[in-house]
Amino acid sequence: MGRHLRYLLPLVIFGVLAGFFYKGLDLNPTELDSPLIGKAAPSFTLPNLHEPDQSMSPDDLRGQPWLLNVWASWCVSCRQEHPLFMELARRGDVPIYGLNYKDERPDALAWLRQFGDPYSASVSDYEGRVGIDYGVYGVPETYVIDGRGIIRYKHVGPVTPTVLTNEILPMIEELRG
């Protein structure tokens, strides 16, 4: 009996590990659960990137749904989604606010000059403390926040046209209704 168990045990362990691996293939890394969904957006007061003597807080944005896009000049993936945000800003579908994450102010401003500025305003989170409060895994990340300041949606990674069309914009319309 002991000799058979010696051969059966590795097979059972392999089967369990294969099951976990197979289940992991179904997971989408851009759909990470966030404990903040349905809760008030963490409050902050940060300096405006363009005018550091002025500050902004989520409390200033109550009354309409808006997007919070966490970005940085050093973020390669941010370049992928940026043209989409430029188009969204041109159309005026929803206000977009930027949270410039762990970035040098001159670098962030140069990046916006080079690629365009889709943000109604962008604030500087140089130390990354606000990012921690929002549970940022990495940039880019985008949040849909309703007019009462409640986080309704979080997208990790670059926003794609499909995500914008099928998830974000319908949610914005629903929140306006």
Say if residues 172 and 153 touch (Cβ distance below 8 Å): no
Domain membership of residue 20 (yes or no) is no
Domain membership of residue 26 (yes or no) is no
Q: Which pLDDT score is estimated for 60?
A: 93
Which amino acid makes up residue 26? D
Q: Which pLDDT score is estimated for 35?
A: 74
Where are the extended beta strands (E) located within 18-115? 46-47, 55-56, 66-71, 96-101
The CA distances from residue 69 to 66, 78, 118, in Å, are: 10, 10, 10
- Return all residues near 171 (Cβ < 8 A) that are at least 6 apart: 65, 144, 152, 153
The dihedrals phi and psi of 86, each to the nearest 5 degrees, come to -60, -45
Domain membership of residue 89 (yes or no) is yes
This prediction's pTM: 0.82
Interatomic CA distance for residues 112 and 168, integer angstroms: 23
* Predicted confidence (pLDDT) per residue in 119-146, tens digit: 999 999 999 999 999 999 899 999 999 9
Domain membership of residue 8 (yes or no) is no
Q: Which pLDDT score is estimated for 30?
A: 43
Domain membership of residue 14 (yes or no) is no
Domain membership of residue 43 (yes or no) is yes
Domain membership of residue 22 (yes or no) is no
Question: Where in the sequence is the domain holding 37, given as residue range(s)?
Answer: 31-176
Domain membership of residue 3 (yes or no) is no
- Confidence label for 148 from pLDDT (cuts 50, 70 and 90): very high
Interatomic CA distance for residues 167 and 8, integer angstroms: 47
* Predicted confidence (pLDDT) per residue in 9-64, tens digit: 667 677 666 666 666 565 545 454 667 899 999 999 999 999 999 999 999 999 99
* Predicted confidence (pLDDT) per residue in 84-108, tens digit: 999 999 999 999 999 999 999 999 9
Number of domains in the chain: 1
Q: Which pLDDT score is estimated for 4?
A: 65
> Which letter does DSSP use for residue 57 in this model?
-
The CA distances from residue 125 to 54, 57, 144, in Å, are: 14, 12, 19
Give the CATH number for residue 57. Answer: 3.40.30.10
